[in-house]
Structure 1
Amino acid sequence: MHGIHTIDTGFGRPSFDAAYLVVERGRGAFIDSGTTHSVPRFLDAIKAADLRPGDVDWVILTHVHLDHAGGAGELMKHLPHARLAVHPRGARHMIDPSVLIAGAAAVYGEQAVRRDYGEIVPVPKERVVEASDGFVVDLAGRALLCLDTPGHAKHHIAIHDERANAFFTGDIFGLSYREFDTAHGPFVIPTTSPVQFDPDEAHASIDRMMGYEPEAMYLTHYDRVEDVARLANDLREQIDAMVAIAGRHAGAPERELRIANEFAELYVGRAHRHGVTLSREEIVGLLKIDIRLNAQGIVVWLDRATRQP
């Protein structure tokens, strides 16, 4: 649809982590790069779209978390004419990914980073373009507008595709796995993973995107969703509920575990009201990693908020 091709990056499990190839008049742009392990899938996507690697002009990163950007350096080696567009706060991490790797290792562990993301290699500085708020990528006359959208991360952009009237949202418009689709449409939860979640910024970013009246959102986790006005409202409600949960356990022992348990109940309850027929155990199993990361991220935010005067 609209020359947009979904790429399952292979990260995690099937239909978990998406990137996109946008094709316009024989030219291509990737949105996000997956991991280094994903690169063969991107090269296959080029062939499937009847393009050659030299026809790809851009790799645009929504943010530099490794499931979105870990493969950028390796992918760029195969794209002789492409430039990399990334938030100004993320550019230095693509040129020198050492801090990025260390940060991921602190969250997931060094062994897991090597196993899950592969070798993370730098992008040459001369090929990196800082996509400040309002930067427009011109893809053969097709405008891809980059908007600063913090809330999940301070180095996050969402890309508005004028042709499709849709956003490539990275993680700022939450997670929507196809296993939770029902007759009522897609189901969504926020992602508050470490370390830069901010609820006020998340609300503002959602509102800003909705101001464009998009027809659809292309999520990293996972794929195209419509009924975006309802999903935006669902995200707003859950962000507020998650903040309230964190506040109730702010001074409690084992607060992260308590918060994670309440997040699980929040998501299970909403999923069942949405018509999801999976059991509680099945829902928690599919969301296990996200629940843990959301609890970790909101604890980091809670500590930061309590330190502020």
Structure 2
Amino acid sequence: MGATHGIFTIDTGFQRPHFDAAFLVVEQGRAAFIDCGTNYSVSAMLAMLDEQGLGPEAVDWLILTHVHLDHAGGAGLLMQHLPNATLVVHPRGAPHMIDPSRLVAGATAVYGEAEIARSYGVIQSVPAARVLEAADGDVIELAGRPLLCVDTPGHARHHFCVWDARSRSWFTGDTFGLSYRELDVDGRPFIIPTTSPVQFEPEPLKASIRTLLARQPDAMYLTHYGRVEDVARLGHDLLEQVDAMVALGRHAHDGADDATGRHVALVDGLTRYYIARATAHGVANAETAVPDVLGMDIELNAQGLGVWLARPAPAPVAVPG
């Protein structure tokens, strides 16, 4: 894709074309990567630098929206190629970049060992001295260009989004959902939330989406996938869908006797819901297009909703008498 305000979209090659993006921001000959894909994405990241006439020494920052492996799995290996870069990550995510063993164990529990090896490779650690924890409101300067980190829980508690005032756009990681170009209709994006395991929380997610919309951005840069406009409509769609997905989850949870039955019901309910929305959006052959394009995401959304529904309710707060 071409650049807008010095922002370049990189297809990391994860899973399929146009599924998983990272971004290169260039300012006055200095560069920052935002998210990085997996170990197998490192060559694409370096190739984009080369295309812009930059060497690895020009990169000052590798900024991770969160530490799920499709966003951050290649960070340790990529940092070995970037002699001047500092890795920027949410305080809750920093320990997992310095010692990724728990992160890998959690992903393995979801995907299995064979899939981790096939899709991600051996996750490398990042030296603690090269890691900067970015708290809510911290600003990263790229050659005088401010990149604002804003805490955005809901998809994960270790998630922030990055506001770029120069382009009036957000780098949203997974907070602003998933929008694949295969489901665009006449240039209008189709979008769904991502509720993948294990830290989905609906009310924080909706609050985070509203935080992003409050700046009236011109565009969003989604990891899945790329730059989208028509932001107000998409944000409304996401907020509406989070509530609908929670209702579907509760119905499946109450209507089945075991975890397997609940999961099957959730997958079926989500699939039918997204097909209906895609049909209303004008997607041709939505009955086949939605499972083809969104099949993996439907499975993960069902898992995430199931984990959230199975979580014990918080204990009531005692009120002094």
Instruction: Sort the TM-score into its range (normalised by shorter chain).
Output: over 0.9
Who is 1:42 aligned against?
A: 45
Counterpart Cα distance in 1 of 2:190 and 2:45: 27
Who is 2:241 aligned against?
A: 238
Structure 2 unaligned regions, length at least 5: 317-321
Identity of paired residues, percent?
58
Q: How big is each residue's C-alpha offset from its partner over 1:169-227, in whole Å with a ceiling of 9 and x where there is no partner?
A: 00000000000101261000000000000000000000011111100000000000000
Counterpart Cα distance in 1 of 2:220 and 2:203: 21
Question: In the alignment, residue 232 of structure 1 is paired with which amino acid?
Answer: G
Aligned residue among 61, 66, 79 for 1:63: 66
| 2:284 alignment partner, SS class | coil
- 1:100 correspondence with 2:110: no
Aligned residue among 283, 292, 305 for 2:299: 292
Who is 2:268 aligned against?
A: 261
Who is 1:227 aligned against?
A: 230
Tell whether the 8 Å contact from 1:61 to 1:69 is kept in structure 2 after alignment.
yes
How far the C-alpha of 1:281 sits from its partner, in A, is 1.9
Question: In the alignment, residue 98 of structure 2 is paired with which amino acid?
Answer: I
- 1:4 correspondence with 2:7: yes
Aligned residue among 304, 308, 317 for 1:301: 308
Aligned residue among 28, 31, 37 for 1:25: 28
Tell whether the 8 Å contact from 2:39 to 2:78 is kept in structure 1 after alignment.
yes
Counterpart mapping for 1:1-309 below 5 A: 1-183=4-186, 185-251=188-254, 252-253=256-257, 254-304=261-311, 306=313, 308-309=315-316
- Normalised TM-score (structure 2): 0.95
Output the aligned Cα RMSD: 1.0
Tell whether the 8 Å contact from 2:278 to 2:286 is kept in structure 1 after alignment.
no
Counterpart Cα distance in 2 of 1:184 and 1:10: 23
Tell whether the 8 Å contact from 2:181 to 2:225 is kept in structure 1 after alignment.
yes
How many residue pairs get aligned? The number is: 309
How far the C-alpha of 1:279 sits from its partner, in A, is 3.7
Structure 1 unaligned regions, length at least 5: none
Alpha-carbon distance change, 282 to 44 in structure 1, aligned in 2, over 3 angstroms: same
How far the C-alpha of 1:250 sits from its partner, in A, is 1.6
Question: In the alignment, residue 298 of structure 1 is paired with which amino acid?
Answer: L
Counterpart Cα distance in 1 of 2:267 and 2:184: 23
